[in-house]
Structure 1
Amino acid sequence: MVRIQDSRGAFPAPRPKRLFYPNEPRLESFPIQHVQIDWQRLIAKRAMVLDTVDTMPAYLLKPETLGLLDAEKHPTYRLILDLMWTTGARISEVLALTPCHFIDDGYDFLVVLRTLKQRPGRPTNAQLARSPKRAIPIVDPLLIDRIQSYLYAGHFRKDERIFTMARQTVNRHIHDLVGRVGGAPINITCHTFRHSFAIHLLLHGRPLKIISQLLGHKSIESTEIYTNVLTADGGHFLDGVDFH
């Protein structure tokens, strides 16, 4: 290491390490780093999955979701859709967000969601007070920048809700958006983005237990329904298995 001498002939003192907030590089990363997904095959198989699994909710896959996001030009609705897609939040949880729910701890940028079940309109203060919280990391730098710009431009108070519409309004907007892009083979609502988030993580090999926690499910059994996307396409699992 080369050290530069200062004008007085003495070497500058080394910068002290941060005691309570050390900036250390991450030593490990998640084992699965890259996957190859045949999106068109999965899109083609979706009708069969929805037809053969009674409780399977409608879902979108990444190319379809990105197409909808690109078509949405209203900054508020674009941010709402982005948050549901990248965090798996219920629309009631998104509509409850205030600036203080977004946290940068020096390592991650997170949004703290209050686990709220679907109910008409926006959640009440009483519902918010008794709801458990969960912290969801947001890793897309473009989305982080969009969130920070939205909060800065809105001049919100720290406890002020940043979205002022009701769930029904967002659903109507999604319906209009789908119509503008030529329609869709499934019914798309706010909750469709939550289902799509869960399936997107499963397709990338993330553990079911972690996905369940990110979704705020009380039981992992509620999350297992999404695994039907993996098992319905039996050709992948039987490929290479000889019976004769």
Structure 2
Amino acid sequence: MNNVIPLQNSPERVSLLPIAPGVDFATALSLRRMATSTGATPAYLLAPEVSALLFYMPDQRHHMLFATLWNTGMRIGEARMLTPESFDLNGVRPFVRILSEKVRARRGRPPKDEVRLVPLTDISYVRQMESWMITTRPRRREPLWAVTDETMRNWLKQAVRRAEADGVHFSIPVTPHTFRHSYIMHMLYHRQPRKVIQALVGHRDPRSMEVYTRVFALDMAATLAVPFTGDGRDAAQILRTLPPLT
């Protein structure tokens, strides 16, 4: 395999990797280093890193699971409950129905507040999901990933090992939940309103979004270019001309 992220290449090439309109990989990487240095901001991957990681998942079942986590921000337990019936891929606005993890042990129709609809805005992902379902022909109400959480984590570990063997390294530990954090950050980079993102990922408390927006506070502060250094000699000369303060 060839390296997907040119981490060993020049800064100029790295900066060409897109994150969002007006944001390049090098800038976003620098912001992440600052934001996560204290441990207060959840660890997240940037879009090129996710693309690279998915590249090292040749098994389509594994690939589509983590592509789904990346495209929806859902939890791993919620992904385990997905069936073909959960997806509406043929409409003008494709979407997926996500059941809260609380529903897992219940029977019958779930309450409305435990189901959320997440739009699928990436047409490439939608086409891949359609193709995979046509190929595998799962039953309408059959779980697409009827495996344990540990099995899913092992699939991810295998992909990380493949990437590392090919010279592609990730600077943060990667778990299935990393994709949820990455989705939220990706949506924020694309300037989606915080309340919209909160609804899409199923956060009940608005304060849960604050840990992510710290990154953009750092970004704003870094671009203000506020000077603090002045010419001490000139300042002293001016101050000498002022009358003493009483």
> TM tier, shorter chain?
0.7 to 0.9
How big is the shift at 1:136? 0.9
Aligned AA for 1:134? R
Among 81, 101, 107, the residue aligned to 1:96: 81
Which letter maps to 1:97?
L
Alpha-carbon spacing, 1:45–1:104, altered in 2? closer, same or farther (3 Å): closer
Q: CA deviation at 1:72?
A: 1.3
Per-residue displacement from partner, 1:195-241 (whole Å, max 9, x unpaired)? Answer: 000001111111100010111111211122111121234553423x4
Q: Partners of 1:169 and 1:229 in 2: how far apart? A: 32
Equivalents in 2 of 1:163, 1:105: separation in Å? 22
- Alpha-carbon deviation of 1:170? 1.0
CA separation of 1:185/1:106 partners in 2, compared to 1, >3 Å: closer, same or farther? closer
Distance 2:219 2:203 in 1: 26
Tell me which amino acid in the other structure corresponds to 2:62: Y
Match of 2:65 in 1: 80
Q: Determine whether 1:169 maps to 2:160.
A: no
Give 1:203's match in structure 2, choosing from 160, 176, 189. 189
- Between the aligned partners of 1:224 and 1:237, the Cα distance in structure 2 is 20
1:185 lines up with 2:166 in the alignment: no
CA distances 1:152-211 after superposition (whole Å, capped 9, x unpaired):
222222211111211111112211211211142211000000100000111111110001
- The residue aligned with 1:41 is 27
Whether the 8 Å CA contact 2:83–2:140 is kept in 1: the answer is yes
Q: Aligned partners of 1:36 and 1:172: how far apart in 2? A: 36
Q: In the aligned structure 2, how far is the partner of 1:43 from the partner of 1:152? A: 38
Measure, in 2, the Cα distance between the counterparts of 1:157 and 1:207: 36
Counterpart residue identity of residue 142, structure 2: E
5+ residue gaps in structure 2? 1-19, 231-246
RMSD value, Cα: 2.4
Residue of 224, 232, 236 corresponding to 1:238: 224
Letter aligned with residue 136 of structure 2: G
Work out whether 1:143 is the aligned partner of 2:129. Answer: no
Q: Which runs of 5+ in 1 are unaligned?
A: 1-33
Higher RCO (CA < 8 A, seq sep 6+) = 2
Count, aligned residues: 205
Relative to its length, the structure with more helix (as a share) is 2
Q: 1:163 to 1:139 in 2, by over 3 A?
A: same
What SS does the aligned partner of 1:57 have?
A: coil
Equivalent in 197, 204, 208 of residue 218 of structure 1? 204
| TM-score, structure 2 normalization | 0.75
SS of the counterpart of 2:177? helix
Q: Secondary structure at the match of 1:135?
A: strand
- Distance, in Å, in 1 between the alignment partners of 2:160 and 2:214 is 26
Percent of aligned positions with the same letter in both sequences? Answer: 30
Tell me, yes or no, if the aligned pair for 1:88 and 1:215 is still in contact at 8 Å: yes
Aligned mates of 2:33, 2:198 — CA distance in 1:
25
